[in-house]
């Protein structure tokens, strides 16, 4: 019964899996979304709730997803189908896989638009390096980009092409090559920016904003966004990690340790991004609260104009951010692609990836238009892009995660879990199972219900 490999290929080592899973986790969620969510939702209070969500809900579910994938060795839908056949669990659990495919398509649609912004900024700095005009008024530069549907669409298209390129090549040739060098480079860049933030003399204020919670700011809404952010940043709730787990060798690879490494790295990068951005924000007299989705695009260019070799830094920073987004977007496309490949055959991988990406690109046009021509359109009080983000990130991901926790906690028997988590000491295993059975589902449900029904 023990399957040792998948038809899609396998990660060549434990390190490759960690790099790929970290590559998936670390992306726009950490460097673009985390700082502005913190900025908009009360600073330290948001950060504390977010960290608790990561520790008590995110990490345990990350372990559950990898475990399901490694047991199943196929795409999420088929993994759950096989489990239903093998263990007699209800076929309705397969819905987790379907919802994951839908969530992935929705997320990739706007993710690619924002990733396009990073490509545009890389291009601006590249031009500037060769004598082009500088970004004098970052606010105006950002507004000008958002106002141009054509430009947004072009960068969105370019990013989607890059994403499909990697996914079409498959696991060994595509995904691995992209992550090996570029992730460490991004990490170093962030450290350099934190160091620059230190020289502005505003690190203490930034740290206070990030880490000193004002409890009065916490309400059900903030809780829901922190939960959504925890799922988003760890790539959870839509079976991405399950899919990556399917390509993970069994011999000598510990799922809990690997999951912990991924969660720690991801959290570190988010906090570093906060420590890099807020000193600059404060130093240039911007209000750290209420920065909105433009936060990094309107604040960091101020630092790049002021610091020595700033233009080069700007180019490297936005370039590497685009790469981080790239290693994440391929993981958004992979679950649906793997499913299509299982349905239509391995030789059709390219076509499968292209068809799904095209769909994502088309849906992404809604987000593009909501930034300019359709900016007045409101659905449930939100513009279209924010609405898609809300449905996918804040609702579908936590819901998917909750169902995964329930499935692993109640529907699967101990033998399967123990077989995958063989190295986890009994006490920790019981604690993990309790989190899956009781804590995670209740917390997610309570947060969603409170936030939605008020
Ligand atoms: N985690 C990525 C980020 O922080 C985005 C991402 C990739 C994602 N795959 C995912 C989010 C799956 C949710 C689900 O940028």
pLDDT in single tens digits along all 454 residues of the chain: 457 889 888 888 888 888 889 999 999 999 999 999 999 999 999 999 999 999 999 999 999 999 999 999 999 999 999 999 999 999 999 999 999 999 999 999 999 999 999 999 999 999 999 988 888 899 999 999 999 999 999 999 999 999 998 888 876 676 677 677 778 888 888 999 999 999 999 999 999 999 999 999 999 999 999 999 999 999 999 999 999 999 998 888 899 999 999 999 999 999 999 999 999 999 999 999 999 999 999 999 999 998 889 999 999 999 989 989 999 999 999 999 999 999 998 888 899 999 999 999 999 999 999 999 999 999 999 999 999 999 999 999 999 999 999 999 999 999 999 999 999 999 999 999 999 999 999 999 998 888 788 6
CA 397, CA 104: separation in Å to the nearest integer?
9
Nearest ligand 1 atom to the CA of 24 is: 7
- Give nearest CA residue, ligand 1 atom 12: 235
Residue 327 Cβ contacting ligand 1 at under 6 Å: no
**CA atoms in the 13 A half-sphere facing the CB of 329:** 33
CA of 296 to the centre of ligand 1 (A): 18
Q: Is 38 in the pocket of ligand 1 (CB under 6 A)?
A: no
pLDDT value for 404: 98
Nearest residue (CA) to ligand 1, atom 8: 235
Measuring from atom 10 of ligand 1, which residue has the nearest CA? 235
User: If 0-12 CB within 10 Å is exposed, 13-18 middle and 19+ buried, where does residue 52 land?
Assistant: middle
With a 6 Å cutoff on the Cβ, whether 238 touches ligand 1 is yes
pLDDT at 174: 64
How far apart, in Å, are the Cα atoms of 320 and each of 145, 168, 174, 235, 406?
Answer: 20, 22, 18, 19, 37
- Does ligand 1 come within 6 angstroms of the Cβ of 34? no
Cβ–ligand 1 contact at 41 (below 6 Å): no
CA 81 to ligand 1 center in whole angstroms? 24
Nearest to 291 by CA among 376, 364, 206, 374: 206
Residue with token string 């948001």:
46
Q: Are 303 and 235 in contact (CB under 8 A)?
A: no
- Distance (Å) from CA 427 to ligand 1 centroid: 31
Give the distance (Å) from ligand 1 centre to CA of residue 414: 29
pLDDT at 4: 82
Q: Residue 446 is inside which H or E element, if any?
A: helix 440-453
**pTM for this predicted structure:** 0.94
Q: Which atom of ligand 1 is nearest to the CA of 328?
A: 7
Q: Do the Cβ atoms of 432 and 417 come closer than 8 Å? A: no
Integer Cα distance of 194 and 206 in angstroms: 11
Position of tokens 């759950």? 80
Which residue(s) pair with 382 in the sheet?
379
Predicted pLDDT at 134: 84
**3-class DSSP state of 130:** coil
- With 0-12 / 13-18 / 19 or more C-beta atoms within 10 angstroms meaning exposed / middle / buried, residue 362 is exposed
Residue 401 near ligand 1, beta carbon < 6 Å: no
């Amino acid at each position: 019964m023990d399957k040792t490999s998948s038809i899609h290929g396998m990660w060549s080592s434990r390190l490759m899996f960690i790099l790929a899973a970290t590559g998936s986790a670390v992306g726009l969620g950490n460097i673009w979304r985390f700082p502005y969510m913190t900025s908009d939702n009360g600073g330290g209070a948001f950060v504390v709730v977010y960290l608790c969500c990561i520790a008590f809900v995110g990490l345990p579910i990350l372990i559950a997803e990898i475990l399901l994938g490694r047991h199943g060795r196929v795409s999420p839908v088929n993994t759950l189908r096989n489990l239903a056949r093998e263990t007699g669990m209800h076929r309705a659990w397969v819905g987790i896989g379907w919802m994951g495919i839908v969530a992935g398509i929705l997320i990739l649609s706007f993710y690619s638009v924002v990733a396009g912004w990073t490509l545009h900024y890389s291009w601006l700095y590249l031009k500037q390096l060769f004598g082009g005009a500088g970004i004098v008024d970052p606010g105006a530069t950002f507004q000008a980009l958002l106002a141009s549907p054509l430009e947004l669409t072009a960068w969105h298209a370019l990013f989607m092409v890059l994403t499909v390129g990697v996914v079409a090549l498959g696991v060994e040739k595509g995904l691995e090559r992209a992550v090996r060098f570029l992730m460490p480079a991004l990490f170093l860049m962030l450290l350099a920016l934190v160091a620059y933030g230190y020289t502005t003399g505003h690190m203490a204020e930034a740290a206070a904003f990030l880490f000193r919670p004002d409890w009065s700011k916490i309400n059900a809404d903030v809780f829901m966004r922190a939960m959504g952010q925890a799922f988003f940043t760890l790539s959870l709730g839509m079976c991405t990690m399950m899919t990556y787990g399917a390509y993970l060798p069994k011999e000598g690879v510990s799922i809990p340790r690997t999951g912990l490494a991924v969660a720690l790295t991801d959290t570190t990068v988010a906090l570093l991004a906060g420590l890099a951005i807020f000193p600059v924000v404060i130093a240039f007299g911007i209000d750290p609260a209420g920065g909105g989705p433009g936060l990094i695009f309107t604040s960091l260019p101020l630092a790049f104009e002021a610091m020595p070799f700033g233009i080069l830094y700007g180019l490297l920073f936005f370039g590497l951010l685009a790469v981080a987004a790239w290693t994440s977007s391929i993981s958004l496309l992979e679950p649906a692609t793997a499913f299509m490949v299982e349905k239509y055959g391995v030789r059709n991988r390219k076509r499968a990836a292209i068809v799904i990406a095209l769909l994502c690109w088309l849906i992404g046009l809604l987000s593009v238009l909501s930034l300019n021509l359709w900016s007045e359109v409101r659905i449930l009080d939100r513009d279209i892009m924010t609405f898609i983000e809300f449905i996918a990130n804040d609702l579908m991901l936590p819901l998917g995660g909750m169902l995964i926790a329930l499935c692993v906690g109640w529907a699967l028997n101990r033998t399967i879990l123990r077989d995958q988590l063989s190295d986890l000491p009994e006490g920790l295993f019981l604690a993990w199972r309790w989190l899956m059975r009781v804590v995670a589902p209740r917390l997610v449900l309570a947060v969603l219900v409170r936030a939605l029904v008020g």
